[in-house]
Amino acid sequence: SQELEQSPQSLIVQEGKNLTINCTSSKTLYGLYWYKQKYGEGLIFLMMLQKGGEEKSHEKITAKLDEKKQQSSLHITASQPSHAGIYLCGADVLYNQGGKLIFGQGTELSVKP
Amino acid sequence: DVKVTQSSRYLVKRTGEKVFLECVQDMDHENMFWYRQDPGLGLRLIYFSYDVKMKEKGDIPEGYSVSREKKERFSLILESASTNQTSMYLCASSHKRGGAGYEQYFGPGTRLTVT
């Protein structure tokens, strides 16, 4: 099984709808990173969460970290076609081990106009 | 603006050829990483480097080697390319800090096809 599970694997939403993507770790999280990837391109760093209860926002995207549940959620409000892509979570589960991250499988988001 | 560049976006090579993939970062990062990304398998770490001339194996190093002669440059080498190395290759870099907090910045990727 995956050390970092993302759900759902894919999502199709109507433009303007809200959506949530979850990322759950089987190990203690020392840092959680959200990325967005457009098909065939590199990953774009969105935001990093480190402390339990931490919440960060960037435009209409909000990410939260639940340290006790070893889980993070990414919430998009009023989705737009520009939000379409693959969202990946990455996690630092090896404290002070030089920056190796593990990644989830990704969630493919499509936004229908 | 942070920048990681990769030498090619698309590359087609023949089986048995030696292949070099180059990655350059301009952020003075200590850490650099090479991943491959395949459908259904996600991102898998091939090799990483903490410093110049330092390298460590990741999860799937077989068939690959790396070189880091300068801090800003990290090269991935396929000694004898095989068809199962057809993939998207992604380079990333990050600062080296104590504790946690290692956001990685990625290049645009190289889609390699081995025929």
A41 falls within a domain: no
Confidence of residue B100 (pLDDT cuts 50, 70, 90): low
Cβ burial of B6 (10 Å; 0-12, 13-18, 19+) is buried
**Cβ contact A96–B99 (<8 Å):** yes
Contact B66, B53 (CB under 8 A): no
Taking the C-alpha atoms of residue B93 and residue B30, their distance in angstroms, rounded to an integer, is: 8
Task: State which residues form the domain around B86.
Answer: 4-96
* pLDDT score for A3: 86
pLDDT for residue A78 is more than 70: yes
A69 falls within a domain: yes
A23 falls within a domain: no
* pLDDT score for A106: 94
A95 falls within a domain: no
**Which of B38, B88, B102 is best to mutate for the A interface (most A CBs within 10 A)?**
B102
- Which of A45, A88, A105 faces B103 most closely, judged by CB atoms? A45
* More confident of the two residues A51 and A83: A83
**Cβ contact A41–B108 (<8 Å):** yes
* pLDDT score for B101: 62
- Which of A35, A100, A104 faces B45 most closely, judged by CB atoms? A100
A1 touches chain B (CB under 8 A): no
CATH of the domain at B82: 2.60.40.10
* pLDDT score for B102: 73
Across B55-64, b (16+ Cβ under 10 Å) vs e yields beebeeeeeb
Mean pLDDT score across all residues of chain A: 91
Please name the residues in contact with B40: beta carbons below 8 A apart, sequence gap of 6 or more: A105
Count the domains in chain B: 1
For Cα atoms B51, B17, B4, give the angle at the middle one, nearest 5 degrees. Answer: 35
A108 falls within a domain: no
Confidence of residue A97 (pLDDT cuts 50, 70, 90): low
* pLDDT score for B17: 97
B11 falls within a domain: yes
Confidence of residue B91 (pLDDT cuts 50, 70, 90): very high
Contact A83, A111 (CB under 8 A): yes
Task: State which residues form the domain around A73.
Answer: 1-17+56-83
B106 falls within a domain: no
* Residue A74 Cα, gap to closest chain B Cα (Å): 17
DSSP code string of B16-73 = T--EEEEEEESS--SEEEEEEEETTTEEEEEEEESSTT--EE-S--TTEEEEEEETTE
* pLDDT score for B99: 57
Taking the C-alpha atoms of residue B27 and residue B8, their distance in angstroms, rounded to an integer, is: 20
